[in-house]
Each structure stands twice: as structure tokens, then as C-alpha cells.
Structure 1
Amino acid sequence: MELILEGLRALIVFLIGASVGSFLNVVVYRIPAGLSLLHPPSRCPSCLTPIRPYDNVPVLGWLWLGGQCRTCKASISPRYPLVELITGLLFVAVAQSFALPLPAVGYWALVSWLMALALIDLDTLTLPNVLTQSGLVAGLVFQAAMGWSQGVATGQGGLMGSAAAVMGGVVGAVLGIWGLDLITFVGSVALGQTAMGGGDAKLAAMMGAWLGWKLLLLAGFLACVLGAFVGGGAIALGLLSRRQPIPFGPFLALGAILAVFFGESLIRGYLGLFWGIVQ
């Protein structure tokens, strides 16, 4: 019975996440185009026919339509159901990793922001201010709520806990924007061209607000490693030229997601290994 309840809970969380993923597809398409997120309702980009509610079911709608618009038969990118599927799975992973409601809901919001920003950067090589700035504010609100909860639980007082947590988020945000700006400057001098866009530093600031400075540093390190590996591999295989711009936002987003799930364990493991070497 317990397994059935756990499975039902995971299914409900997945459906919520997949529905959020469906909305993220709208965000990724409309924000760069300067369109409203609310009006008009979802429609085929080719014939502009509104999508029927039963065709707009996350993941399944694309499958039973065969990847085509019901009206004009224009092809619908498989990225739409893939985003819905990945978002749903991430929501389940967050729910499994964070039992308490507050961190789970907070990290659901974070992965949603990161997914939208990563996909927009892939499409347009831009990271819209409206998302990075609102994400930074949301991160500080999350820190305040977490600090209040932890302060009350430990007897230190909710207000004191909130103030300390928000300060940690502010430090993370400042470190993020300054750190990426420094890397951009050094990289631009070394390469003789712009190494990163200004949006990457703002995304790093947003990540710092959510994660704090320790997990931000880990996320940035993971992003650099992944970016170097993927970019270097693509250049070696002839898929990209050395001067071709590569969006760094997706690597930052992936680094942040990995830090959410594995950050504390990785940091403890690193410090334990370092302590063993010192001894």
C-alpha cells in the first residue's frame, strides 16, 4: 500500500511538472519575441489555429497527434514533449530529494527558471533580463523563507534566520556577477573577442541568490568543466569552429541543477579528501 501511495504521489508530481514544462515552452517562444504569455491562448505557429485542450495534454498530446498540427499538418518539434518530460522528471527528483514542502517548492521554481533560460540561450544566445532579474528576486525571497523556517526550528528566531539567509543569498549574487564578469574579461583578453555575454553574469547572480556562495562556486566549476568538454569535443569533431559562439547559459543551468541535487555531498567529499591529504 505504501508503494502504491508513493507511486501515485510521484505520478501527481510528474503531471504537475510536465504541465509546468508545457508553460515553459510558451515562455521560451514568447518572451524573446516580445509576446504576451497569456494572450492569445496556445496555437499552431504555422496556421495560428488555437490548440484544443485535449491536444494540449503534456507529452501525450504530441504523441497522439503524431507530431503534427491537427489542422494544417505542420510538423511540431519533438522538443516540446521532451521539455515537458524532462521538467516532470526533475520535479519528481526534487520531491524525492527534499521531503519538506518549502525547499521542494523552491527548487521546483528554480529548475523551471533554469530550464527556460537555458532553452532561450540555446535559441537566441540571449538571457532575458526579465527572467534573470525576477529569478534573482525570487531566490532572495526563497532564502528569506528558508531562513525564517530554520531560525524558528533552531530557536534562533525567524527574523534573525531570514536576515542571515538573505545576506548569504546577496553574497552569492554579488560573487556570481563579479566572478563571471572577471572570467569574461580575462577570456576576452586571451581570445581577442568577447568570451561571454552580459547575461551569463546575471544568470550567475541569480544562481548565487538561490544557492549561496558555496554551491554557486561548485555550480560554476561544473559549468566550466562541462562547457570545456562539450565545446572542445564539438570543435575537435568539426561540429563547431573556434570562433563560433557557444551559449554558456545551458552549462550554468546544468551546473546549478547538479549542485542542487549533489552539491552538499560533493563539497563534503572534496573537503574530506583534502583533509585526508593534509593529514
Structure 2
Amino acid sequence: MAVTELLPVIVVLCAVVGLVVGSFLNVVIYRVPAGLSIVSPPSACPRCGASILRRDNIPVVSWALLRGKCRDCRTKISVRYPLVEAGTAVFFVVVAVYVWTGAYAGQVGPDSAGASWIPAMLVLLAILYLAAVSIALALIDLDTHRLPNRIVLPSYLVGAGLLGSASIVTGDYASLIRAGIGLAILWALYLVMALAYPGGMGFGDVKLAGVLGLFLGYLGWGPLVAGAFAAFLLGGVFAIGLLATRRANRKSGIPFGPWMLAGAWVGIFWGNQLWNSYLSFIGITQ
């Protein structure tokens, strides 16, 4: 089967896997900040303690059939649960189409000359992992103002392993070197800011910056620069909006992790276009 013919299969698979992963992310988002195991005990209603039956654990569908309430005590189940599940599925499909159709032509897309589905699959898995981590970390940071090491630190190994394997298969070591440079640059940048402004930047942000630098650097200078810049732009606009509407003051703690992650995805989806437009604007053509 030609690599282009695999796209419908990849899309369906990513949609299904996204629903399942989204259900698991709900567990991660609830348990990791509390220091609980993500594998045991089985999920239960936080109010009555009743174990959740298998038929009540089908992503999105079970919530709808139960009308958003616990089967036993009828306590309302937050709408965030099905939204995370459905959102993860949609996110996975968008990422799959973007990567698999050669969004980074000549680098990871299977449609590029001489490329095979193996490196594309490795990069796809890496970016899908980043998508899942982004959802979990963004919601945890919004809830608790924390970026747990249990999620951030393993991301270095997963990202380096998958992206490094893709580089070995293709022989594209330039991308791997660029990933290391991206990791170092963003980590150092955020470390300096954390030391200079300890009240506005935490070391959780520093550790996350290294992860994002690894992924963005692998994909190109455009994604790296655009992703880093977009984080500060989006975060700044949001903070100004809160101050203008008096929903926060200068002493309010505003989590920056979600904006780092949002900026990274701006870099992934539009970084190369923005970078090329900028170079063209200043008179440099590629």
C-alpha cells in the first residue's frame, strides 16, 4: 500500500486512539497533581466512591448516555471530561493530517521525495505525544499553577527517542542537532527569566521550555522562533486583557504554561510560513 493511501487509516486510527487517550488524560489531570497513581485503583465517583463500570467508561458516549451524572449517586459529572476526550480526538486527527500529508516536506512527510512511512510515523507519534502532554499540562497548570515533573521530565526521553530514531532512519542528523540547540536555547532563556523574575516565572516553566525547544527545534528554525515568540505574545495579550477587565492585578499569579504550549503549536502549524514571510520582508530569500 502506498504511503498516501494510508492517510484514511491513520485518520480513523488517530480519532479512536485520541478518544481513548483523552479518557486517560482525564485520569492524569485529576490524579497527578494529587500525587496519586494513574493506574490504580480503578476510577470511581469522587463523591460516593462507586466504581465506574466498563460500560460507563466509553469516551464521550457514556457521559451522554448518563446525562452527565453518576449512575449511583446522580452527582453531576463535569462537562470537561467529554470535552477533553473529544478535543483530544480532534487534535490527534489534525496533527495526523498535517504531518502525514507532508507539512514538513522533505523532512518528515511521507509524500516528500524518497521519504518512507517509517520516519513519518515516528515523527507523528512524537507530535501526538506532545499533543497529549500539552492538553494535560495546560489544564493542570490552569487548575494548580504547577507543571508536574512526572509529566514534563519523561517528555525529554520520549521526544529524543522518537525524533532521534526518525533522524537515524533518514540520516537527517541536522534536524537532531537543531533539536538539541533548540532545547538548550529555550531552556537557557527561561532559566535566565526565572532567576531574574522569580515571581513571574517558575522552574516548571524552565523544564517545559526545554521540552518544547527539543520538538520545535527538530521541526525547524521557523517553528522554534515563532513558537517562542508566540508564547510571550499570547500570554501578554491575555494578561493585559485580565488587567484591563480588572479580573487580575499586577500581583496575581497567572500560569504561563498554557501559553508556552499554545505558542509551541502556533510554531508547529504556522512557524515555517511566518519565518519565510519574515525573511522575505527583510530581503532574505530561501
TM-score tier (shorter): 0.7 to 0.9
Q: Letter of the aligned partner of 1:181 in structure 2? A: L
> What is the aligned counterpart of 1:217 among 222, 225, 238?
225
1:180/1:267 CA distance change after superposition, 3 Å: same
Task: Deviation per CA, 1:128-149: give whole Å up to 9, x if none.
Answer: 1121111112121122112112
- The residue aligned with 2:97 is 96
Task: Deviation per CA, 1:119-165: give whole Å up to 9, x if none.
Answer: 111111111112111111212112211211221xxxxxxxxx45x44
Structure 1 window deviating more from structure 2 (96-105 vs 9-18): it is 9-18
SS at match of 1:266: helix
- The residue aligned with 1:118 is 138
- The residue aligned with 2:282 is 274
Report the alpha carbon displacement of residue 11 of structure 1 after superposing the two structures with TM: 3.9
- The residue aligned with 1:34 is 35
Superposition CA RMSD, Å? 2.0
Write the distance in 2 (CA, Å) between the matches of 1:12 and 1:142. Answer: 19
Q: What stretches of structure 1 move > 6 A for 4+ residues in a row? A: 5-8
Structure 1 regions of 5+ residues with no counterpart? 152-160
TM-score (norm 1): 0.86
Q: Letter of the aligned partner of 1:144 in structure 2? A: G
Write the distance in 2 (CA, Å) between the matches of 1:202 and 1:9. Answer: 32
Report the alpha carbon displacement of residue 8 of structure 1 after superposing the two structures with TM: 6.9
- The residue aligned with 2:180 is 170
Structure 1 window deviating more from structure 2 (110-119 vs 11-20): it is 11-20
Task: Deviation per CA, 1:48-68: give whole Å up to 9, x if none.
Answer: 211111211111221121111
- The residue aligned with 2:150 is 130
> What is the aligned counterpart of 2:165 among 140, 145, 158?
145
Confirm whether residue 254 of structure 1 aligns to residue 259 of structure 2: no
SS at match of 1:33: coil
Confirm whether residue 200 of structure 1 aligns to residue 205 of structure 2: yes
1:103/1:246 CA distance change after superposition, 3 Å: same
Write the distance in 1 (CA, Å) between the matches of 2:128 and 2:192. Answer: 30
Q: Letter of the aligned partner of 2:265 in structure 1? A: I
Write the distance in 1 (CA, Å) between the matches of 2:7 and 2:175. Answer: 32
Confirm whether residue 243 of structure 1 aligns to residue 251 of structure 2: yes
SS at match of 1:77: coil
Percent of aligned pairs with the same residue? Answer: 37
Report the alpha carbon displacement of residue 114 of structure 1 after superposing the two structures with TM: 1.5
Structure 1 window deviating more from structure 2 (206-215 vs 125-134): it is 206-215
- The residue aligned with 1:73 is 74
Structure 1 window deviating more from structure 2 (131-140 vs 259-268): it is 259-268
SS at match of 1:61: helix
